[in-house]
């Protein structure tokens, strides 16, 4: 490539060469900005080398006076330029922030809902409702809430003018899927640890914000955090959301991963419920309370 540039300088010193960079904007903003900075620095370095090589070649091949050499150097001030080709263009920072906000709002909301469901289940269990009936009712409510909440969220995004390259129905369906995965994950730790599971859910929220790729590119993470991100649903939710909102290769892989995660989480939840013994109600009568017989 360098030889071709020098040949161009010899035969046509006014000709410039452009380096074409392809940037996929369906990525975290930090990744796209980093690629632009790298491309600019690479072009500047190549341009500087091309200028020096071109002037040296001209001076060697022809005895050029100093004043003409200065004029030649000014004509060679920009021999290599950058040509950026953007794919899956993101229309503004407001759209760039949507995947992270969807993740944050969805998981915080599901944590609070799961906490209230756990408290209600404890009260109903104390009243004698069988555990499997409670577990089935919770899962039915979880599916209904995921569909309703995602419908409201997707509608608000469209009404507020957010980007949605793949349309409303795909956005609604995929959002319902990852909201359900968040509910299943937060519910699992509440079933396992009781109300103490909320501490684990708060910890998982922080971990998923880091490992999902919503804030920083996953390529910059260590292998440990990459593996943790693969085990949690947020990374698939963010990647799929970016594909739906900005365009990309498809959400098939992310959809399958979320479905598998939901099956595993609900299966583990059922295992925890099956291993837990039913609570036995004990009627405690205070001394002096009246006794009635029928």
Residue 108 lies in a domain: yes
b/e per residue 204-214 (b: at least 16 CB within 10 A): bbebbbbbbbb
Q: Same domain, yes or no, for 54 and 24?
A: yes
Same domain, 22 and 124: no
Position 50 in a domain? yes
CA distance 109 to 219: 28
Domain final residue pick, 87, 113, 135: 87
120, 64: one domain: no
pLDDT of residue 282: 39
State residue 212's pLDDT score: 87
The count of structural domains within the chain is 2
Query: What domain range includes position 42?
Result: 2-87
The residue length of the chain stands at 294
Can you give the pLDDT at residue 280?
39
What does the pLDDT read at residue 290? Answer: 45
Q: How many Å apart are CA 170 and CA 165, to the nearest integer? A: 10
The answer to whether the pTM exceeds 0.85 is no
Residue 136 confidence (pLDDT): 92
What is residue 9's predicted lDDT score, i.e. its pLDDT?
37
In a domain, 240, yes or no: yes
Residue 72 and residue 172 in one domain: no
Q: Does residue 31 form part of some domain?
A: yes
pLDDT tens per residue across all 294 residues of the chain: 333 333 333 444 456 677 776 666 666 666 666 666 777 777 777 766 666 566 655 555 556 555 555 555 555 555 666 666 666 667 777 788 888 889 999 999 999 999 999 999 889 988 888 889 999 999 999 999 999 999 999 999 999 888 888 889 999 999 999 999 999 999 999 998 888 889 999 999 999 988 988 877 787 888 898 999 999 999 999 999 988 988 878 889 999 999 999 999 999 999 998 887 654 343 334 444 444 333
């Amino acid at each position: 490539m360098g030889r071709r540039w020098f040949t161009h300088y010899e035969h046509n010193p006014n000709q410039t060469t452009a380096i074409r960079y392809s940037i996929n904007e369906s990525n975290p903003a930090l990744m796209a900005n980093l690629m632009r900075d790298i491309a600019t620095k690479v072009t500047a370095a190549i341009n500087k080398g091309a200028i020096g090589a071109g002037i040296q070649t001209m001076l060697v091949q022809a005895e050029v006076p100093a004043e003409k050499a200065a004029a030649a150097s000014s004509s060679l001030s920009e021999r290599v330029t950058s040509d950026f080709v953007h794919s899956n263009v993101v229309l503004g920072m407001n759209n760039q922030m949507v995947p992270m906000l969807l993740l944050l709002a969805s998981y915080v909301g599901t944590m609070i809902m799961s906490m209230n469901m756990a408290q209600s289940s404890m009260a109903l269990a104390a009243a004698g409702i069988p555990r499997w009936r409670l577990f089935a009712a919770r899962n039915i409510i979880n599916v209904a809430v995921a569909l309703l909440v995602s419908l409201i969220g997707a509608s608000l995004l469209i009404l507020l003018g957010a980007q949605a390259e793949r349309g409303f129905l795909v956005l609604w369906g995929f959002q319902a899927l990852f909201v359900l995965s968040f509910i299943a994950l937060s519910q699992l730790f509440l079933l396992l640890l009781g109300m103490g599971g909320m501490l684990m859910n708060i910890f998982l929220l922080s971990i998923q914000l880091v490992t999902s790729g919503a804030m920083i590119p996953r390529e910059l993470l260590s292998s440990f955090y990459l593996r943790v991100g693969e085990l949690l649903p947020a990374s698939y939710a963010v990647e799929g959301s970016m594909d739906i909102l900005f365009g990309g290769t498809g959400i098939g892989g992310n959809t399958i991963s979320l479905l598998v995660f939901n099956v595993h989480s609900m299966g583990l939840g059922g295992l925890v419920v099956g291993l837990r013994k039913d609570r036995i109600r004990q009627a405690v009568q205070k001394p002096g309370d009246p006794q009635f017989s029928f």
